[in-house]
Amino acid sequence: MQVLLAKLKADSKFYAVKVLQKKQKNIMAERNVLLKSLKHPFLVRLHFSFQTAEKLYFVLDYVNGGELFFHLQKERCFSEPRARFYAAEVASAIGYLHSLNIVYRDLKPENILFDSQGHVVLTDFGLCKEGVEPEGTTSTSYLAPEVLRKEAYDRTVDWWCLGAVIYEMIYSLPPFYSRDVGEMYDGILHKALPLPPGKSEAVCSLLEGLLQKDQHRRLGPSPTLVHKKMVSNSVSRTPELNGSSSSNNAFNGFSFVATEDSFL
């Protein structure tokens, strides 16, 4: 997989062009989700798509604020108000996907980007699954307890992952983190959630609700998404463009930027 920085010749705006081999695993999941024409301020938006015999090309928003992972590596942790703001935006995006019967399944700091205004943008839909039913079981590497036990799971895995991301933003490491994978899995499955002192009762309560080992008792969307009132509904985004193509002529509208930043 490659991501190239490209400029549309018609208006000189920059876009990210994601290049996928057709034989690549999970490509159809990403294609199906992107082609749903997702319209949400905190999800990356597809503007064009085209293909060659061996590759698919998705022309997406160019999101230039870096990954949450990068900012956490640099700053270690965030204040509670800052973490709460990001969590509200992520929860809003996850709730929107769930309303379309899509389970994201891959929520982690590497897949949470920031735009130029500091708002989150979820990207990388390669592990999304549409129409997931409670009885559907998969062998993904999600760290929710029910997934580790290879039991049936549903969209509640996304709320566990949101809890893990919030925990990392607050405490600088994921919950139950250990360099020993077996020890980490044991913590996820059996140990009480560690909540070091110094944080508010509200954030501790939220983390306990989201990181509930019993998926049927886990905090769901209604209590979580109450935070969406904090988020502006008028977030500036790249304007929508029309059209997709299956022809190589689609390349003619773009000039690819040959710099060190070409690969994002």
List of domains in the chain:
2-62+238-255 (3.30.200.20), 68-230 (1.10.510.10)
Q: Known catalytic residue: 106?
A: yes
Average pLDDT, the chain: 78
pLDDT at 233 over 80: no
Per cent of the chain over pLDDT 70 is 71
pTM of the prediction? 0.77
Question: Among 234, 231, 236, 205, which residue's Cα sits nearest to residue 88?
Answer: 231
**Encoded amino acid at 102, one letter:** I
Residue written as token pair 């769901």: 220
Structure tokens at 238: 């790249």
pLDDT in tens, 1-14: 788 999 999 889 99
What contacts 137, CB < 8 A, 6 or more positions away? 150, 151, 152, 153
Separation of alpha carbons 124 and 44, rounded Å: 9
Phi-psi sector, 101: left (phi>0), alpha (psi -120 to 50), beta: left
**Residue of 11, 61, 106, 115 marked active site:** 106
pLDDT in tens, 144-184: 999 889 888 889 999 999 999 999 999 999 999 988 989 99
Q: How does DSSP assign 13-24, residue by residue?
A: -EEEEEEEETTS
pLDDT in tens, 50-79: 889 888 888 999 999 999 999 999 999 999
pLDDT at 115 over 50: yes
